Amino acid sequence: MATRLLGVGILLFGALYLALAAQLPMHTLAGPGAGFFPVAVGVLLIASGAVAVFARGVLHLEPTSRLGLAKVAATLAGLFAFCALLPVLGYLASAVLLCVAALRLFGTSWRASLAIGGALALVTWAIFVPLLGLTLPAGSLFS
């Protein structure tokens, strides 16, 4: 079942990819064009997806508890929220928020989560910005 599902997913992705690749120029006067290789890759994706759909099932989805799955989904949501908040709140505030949320999901107390999250955000900021001279977003809200 898992192998077939993966195969169907790849088949759909491959078809979409091939449709987009087919719009690129296939040939130029100087030889194969920008679409030549992507079209070949699209065909490869469709073929390998089709094999997975029709071949004997070799993959099995490892069972996950509902709670475990909810925690994974929440962490992923937190990471996406971090991406959205980073340009607005800047690195320090976004990192503290993400760490606290992740630590709370682990069942860490509020106090410990705030302490660990704050420390991690500050230490990484100190290493990357003053020490290594790299830049991290300051946040449009504060600048």
Partner 1 sequence: MEMIAGLAHGFSVAALPANLLACFIGVLLGSLVGVLPGIGPNAGMALLIPLTFAMPPEAAIIMLAGIYYGSMYGGSTTAILLNVPGEAASVMTAVDGYQMAKKGRPGPALAIAAIGSFVAGTLGIVGIMLVGPGLAELALRFGPPEYFVLAAAGLVFLCGLSTNPFHIAFIMVGLGLAISTVGIDPITGTQRFTFGFTQLAQGIDLVPVIMGLYGIAEVLTMMEEGEQKARLTKVRFRDLVPSWLEAKMSFWPIMRGSVLGFLIGLVPGPATVVSSFLSYRVEKRLSRTPERFGHGAIEGVAGPESANNSATAGAMVPMFALGIAFSPATAMLLAALVIHGVQPGPMFMLNAPDVFWGVIASMYIGNLLLLVLNLPLVHVFVSVLKLPQNVLAAMVMILCLVGTYSINNSLLDIWIMVIAGALGYGLRKLKVDPSPLVIALVLGPMIEKSLRQTMFLANGEWGLILTRPICVGVVAALMLLFAGNALFKWRRRLPAGAALD
Residues 29-58 that bind partner 1 (CB under 8 A): 30-38, 41-42, 44-45, 48-49, 51-52, 55, 58
Instruction: Name residues contacting partner 1, limited to 73-92 (CB under 8 A).
Output: 75-76, 79-80, 82-83, 86-87, 91
CA–CA dist 141, 133 (Å, integer)? 23
Q: Provide, rounded to whole angstroms, the least separation between the CB of residue 45 and partner 1.
A: 4
**How many residues sit close enough to partner 1 to count as binding (CB under 8 A)?**
73
Among residues 1, 60, 130, 143, the one that binds partner 1 under rule CB under 8 A:
60
Taking Cα atoms as reference points, which of 9, 44, 38 lies closest to residue 26?
Answer: 38
- Counting contacts by CB under 8 A, is residue 20 touching partner 1? yes
CB under 8 Å to 94, separation ≥6 — which residues?
A: 82, 85, 86, 139
- Counting contacts by CB under 8 A, is residue 12 touching partner 1? no
- Counting contacts by CB under 8 A, is residue 72 touching partner 1? yes
Q: Which string of b and e fits 72-99 if b means at least 16 CB within 10 Å?
A: eeeeeebeeebeebbeebbbbbbbbbbb
